[in-house]
């Protein structure tokens, strides 16, 4: 049944994603109307440089986003400009007057999500953000709704296409990090300033969002332990391949049991995964997120993690859902932060290390190394010696131990007389 | 904020899934209340044999489901008994009085979904069914909501764990179908009467549901072209392995362009997939569904497709969402069947065949075979001859052609003087 009313959508931003959202809203207008039960009308598109958007009807383009979000005709405000300001002020304005907000802004959500949710809640408005993590992959709604009756124990994902592209290239070609990054930049997989991706800021924001919704706990971007991929060397990649592993940059959110009760560990760093792990074969710019829940078991979600059209698909899913809620009356899920779990400091997180050492080729080396580990309470899972003479290499994998203890102990290995150099240190996943 | 009211849940069925739902509702009561903003209370559990359910408080057990669904205290009715009747009558009763219904009943939805939706719509009630397809895997909500702004072109899934277990076993051990089925029965992966699984009825019901929600079109179970796996031979499995393929039983829903306009093809049958296909590595009792959409691109959802706890997780996700809607006011998505696409008859569906022939070892055989195909307008993609003398085999893969034409042509090949026997015929996927 078609409602007589029209639902107004204001679009903030008309870049890679926004231009696709605008196009699809027009091209699929009839189909969307049939699914919603009311027509969607674009009431304005806020851009910075209007002359660049000749594909959008001139009457809709504005350089005044503040007026656009205040327009009562805008029932739904879609934000795809990114960054903290002016996005935050604009969305708070929209939410406070009761508009439903759809955003792809992971940085803002990780920085100030609770303030946005509070504004939505106070006004009976709505905040949805399927596009903020893993592009087109339905992930936010499955976690907030489909798994709302379950208890998630772990979320582990490849959520940054740029770093996955670089690491995949290093793995398949043996290229150095610098070379793979240059190639990614040339092909448009990395931005001119790749900092947000390669230093893990993007993945950390996504980890904060996933941990917040998965563990019903507010996790801020600054709570996330963040390590980028700039230190991953060709030697690390080769060492992983040697034992049938690959290196992936992961966002990891885990429920952990501590002496003080349950806590969450939230972090992003490169990690060795066995080739048999479902995430190990996710190559190039694809994203995939692996979720373990108490009742559901092991789930995986896979798809394009970025790009204009895929991200626009996720945005439009939220727009259609919000529009249906306007027609039928109703709201999406509110913030769920009842668990209030503390975030475990990285130093206390149990991890395993894979370590390669250049060593003297003489008896007693293994005894010295394993003795140094044992002295710190670290036991060895596997060890093997390769080569000899000037090329003698000791490769060891530890059992689980607190990350800070492992890091400090490995740092001390380089001081042993028998150790010439620590050539590779990488966290490694438990075998599945 | 906790609502003063309590939300009553009536549970129909306390078997594998129902007993887990009952357990989780009790064990996780506080957590669920925190997520919903109101407490959930189990108001009754309808079972057939009350003495078998000592784990459920005796006061809740009833053998009178009709009274239970009519109880105004039951805000949400959860149905996990399966089958058409009495489930249909019970759910219609519940919906007509405005209760929200959560069901895992794929057979009923594929048989009479529109009647249930109509009843829900008339009463402002709600019908959700995440558990009906692919167990714990969030799939229904992603398709109905996350992808609601996109245009799905294809859904292709391993949605039956029993047949996937049998085919995986045949592939890894070389066992015959009969042997693998016996083993699956012994291990509890197949039921004593495996008809619903091995003859494809279960997968066909799921295909009907997926096609209905994916293409906004009513697809009935009887619209689905259905072929089981009983005819898959060890020779078929070996022939697939020979070219780097595996055989999977798939539910396939595709948007197809015909002379009369868009249509949908909905079918379930075994098919050869290249080992590089994301579905090819899904082994054992796991399920996975691959979705292609115009904007989103290629998505995959993976996880446990059956089992008490995983299916209960999906049921509880729907219960929490329905309960939140009761607290906040609002409804889930209504039926969306605006597209009303016709279902393309199987004979017209373009497919490709992989065919193995026992042939005479003499010149002219290939010419005779390819001539017979060409006469029917079928061109050959690849062909190779193996062995010689009494063991000469011709293996060919066709290009795409209407399924009925391929079937008729292959049937006629066995009449050629040069062909001793058609040893294997199997549909084969296009290369990814």
Prediction ipTM score = 0.93
pLDDT for position A1? 59
pLDDT: which is higher, A87 or A334: A87
**Chain B residues near residue A333 by CB distance under 8 angstroms:** 321, 324
CB-CB contact of B265 with B154 (8 Å): no
Q: Tell me: domain B140-304, CATH 3.30.360.10, correct? A: yes
Closest CB to B150 among A296, A297, A317:
A317
For residue B102, how many C-alpha atoms fall within 13 Å in the half-sphere facing its CB? 30
Give yes or no for residue A262 having a pLDDT over 70: yes
**Chain B residues near residue A37 by CB distance under 8 angstroms:** 334
Domain parsing of chain B, residue ranges: 6-135+308-328, 140-304, 349-427
Find, in chain B, the residue whose alpha carbon is nearest to that of A216.
B35
* Chain segment A399-412, per-residue pLDDT in tens: 999 999 999 999 99
Q: Which CATH architecture has domain B349-427?
A: 2-Layer Sandwich (3.30)
Find, in chain A, the residue whose alpha carbon is nearest to that of B1.
A338
**Chain B residues near residue A334 by CB distance under 8 angstroms:** 37, 324, 328
Interchain pair A328, B325: CB under 8 A: no
User: Tokens standing for B212?
Assistant: 């209905």
Q: Calculate the CA B120 to chain-centre distance.
A: 24
Interface probe with A: pick from B145, B280, B290, B327, most Cβ of A within 10 Å: B145
Residue A403 CB coordination number (10 Å): 23
The CATH T-level fold of domain A346-427 is Alpha-Beta Plaits (3.30.70)
Find all residues with CB under 8 Å of B4, minimum gap 6, and list them.
Answer: none
* Chain segment A379-402, per-residue pLDDT in tens: 999 999 888 777 899 999 999 999
**Chain A residues near residue B312 by CB distance under 8 angstroms:** 295
Interchain pair B28, A151: CB under 8 A: yes
User: Tokens standing for B20?
Assistant: 């887990």
CB-CB contact of A252 with A160 (8 Å): no
Question: Which helix H or strand E contains B267, and what residues bound it?
Answer: strand B261-274
Catalytic residue selected from B106, B206, B248, B421: B206
- Which amino acids of A are annotated catalytic? 206
pLDDT for position A432? 53
Interchain pair B330, A325: CB under 8 A: yes
pLDDT for position A12? 98
Give yes or no for residue A148 having a pLDDT over 90: yes
Query: Stretch A265-274: mean pLDDT, rounded?
Result: 97
In terms of CATH, what superfamily is A143-304? Dihydrodipicolinate Reductase; domain 2 (3.30.360.10)
Residue A5 CB coordination number (10 Å): 12
CB-CB contact of B272 with B426 (8 Å): yes
- Chain A to chain B, count of Cβ pairs less than 8 Å apart? 199
Find all residues with CB under 8 Å of A85, minimum gap 6, and list them.
Answer: none
Pairing of strands A261-274, A297-304: unpaired
Per-residue confidence of chain B (432 residues) as pLDDT tens digits? 566 789 999 999 999 999 999 999 999 999 999 999 999 999 999 999 988 888 888 899 999 999 999 999 999 999 999 999 999 999 999 999 999 999 999 999 999 999 999 999 999 999 999 999 999 999 999 999 999 999 999 999 999 999 999 999 999 999 999 999 999 999 988 999 999 999 999 999 999 999 999 999 999 999 999 999 999 999 999 999 999 999 999 999 999 999 889 999 999 999 999 998 889 989 887 999 999 999 999 999 999 988 999 999 999 999 999 999 999 888 889 999 999 999 999 999 999 999 999 999 888 889 999 999 999 999 999 999 888 777 899 999 999 999 999 999 999 999 999 999 999 999 999 865
Interchain pair A320, B136: CB under 8 A: no
Average model confidence (pLDDT) across chain A: 94
Interchain pair A316, B28: CB under 8 A: no
CB-CB contact of B52 with B63 (8 Å): no
Query: Stretch A26-47: mean pLDDT, rounded?
Result: 96
Closest-CA distance, A181 to chain B, in angstroms, reads 25
Interchain pair A142, B147: CB under 8 A: no
**Chain A residues near residue B76 by CB distance under 8 angstroms:** none
Closest CB to A297 among B136, B333, B334:
B136
pLDDT for position B1? 58
CB-CB contact of A298 with A256 (8 Å): no
Nearest to B236 by CA among B284, B139, B188, B167: B167
* Chain segment A5-34, per-residue pLDDT in tens: 899 999 999 999 999 999 999 999 999 999
Indicate whether this model's pTM tops 0.90: yes
Interchain pair A138, B136: CB under 8 A: no
The CATH T-level fold of domain B6-135+308-328 is Rossmann fold (3.40.50)
Query: Stretch A253-267: mean pLDDT, rounded?
Result: 95
């Amino acid at each position: 049944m078609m409602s007589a009313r029209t639902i107004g959508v204001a679009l903030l931003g008309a870049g890679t994603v926004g231009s696709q959202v605008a196009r699809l809203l027009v091209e699929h207008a009839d189909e969307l109307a049939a699914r919603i039960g009311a027509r969607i009308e674009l009431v304005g598109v806020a851009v910075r440089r209007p002359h660049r958007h000749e594909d959008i009807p001139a009457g809709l383009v504005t350089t005044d986003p503040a007026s656009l979000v205040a327009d009562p005709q805008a029932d739904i405000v879609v934000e795809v400009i990114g960054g903290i300001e002016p996005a935050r002020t604009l969305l708070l304005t929209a939410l406070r007057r009761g508009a439903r907000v759809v955003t792809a802004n992971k940085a803002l959500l990780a920085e100030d999500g609770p303030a946005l949710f509070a504004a939505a809640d106070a006004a009976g408005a709505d905040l949805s953000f399927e596009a903020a993590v893993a592009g087109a992959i339905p992930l936010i709604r499955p976690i907030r709704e489909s798994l709302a009756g379950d208890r998630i124990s772990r979320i582990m994902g490849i959520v940054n296409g740029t770093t996955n592209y670089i690491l995949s290239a290093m793995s398949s070609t043996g290229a150095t990090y610098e070379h793979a990054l240059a190639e990614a930049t040339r092909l448009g997989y990395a931005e001119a300033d790749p900092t947000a991706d390669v230093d893990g800021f993007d993945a950390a924001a996504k980890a904060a969002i996933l941990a917040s919704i998965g563990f019903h706990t507010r996790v801020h971007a600054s709570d996330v332990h963040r390590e980028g991929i700039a230190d991953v060397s060709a030697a690390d990649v080769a060492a992983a391949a040697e034992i049938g592993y690959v290196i992936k940059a992961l966002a990891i959110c885990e429920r952990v049991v501590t002496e003080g009760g349950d806590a969450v560990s939230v972090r992003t760093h490169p990690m060795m995964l066995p080739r048999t792990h479902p995430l190990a074969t996710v190559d190039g710019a694809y994203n995939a997120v692996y979720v373990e829940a108490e009742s559901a078991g092991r789930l995986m979600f896979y798809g394009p993690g970025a790009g204009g059209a895929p991200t626009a698909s996720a945005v439009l899913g939220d727009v259609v859902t919000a529009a249906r809620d306007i027609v039928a009356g109703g709201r999406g899920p509110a913030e769920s932060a009842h668990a209030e779990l503390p975030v475990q400091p990285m130093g206390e997180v149990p991890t395993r290390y894979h370590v390669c050492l250049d060593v003297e080729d003489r008896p007693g080396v293994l005894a010295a190394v394993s003795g140094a580990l044992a002295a710190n309470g670290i036991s060895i899972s596997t060890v093997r010696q390769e080569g000899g003479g000037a090329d003698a290499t000791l490769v060891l994998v530890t059992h689980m131990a607190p990350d800070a203890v492992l890091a400090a102990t490995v740092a001390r290995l380089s001081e042993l007389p028998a150790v010439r150099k620590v050539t590779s240190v990488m966290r490694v996943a438990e075998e599945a």
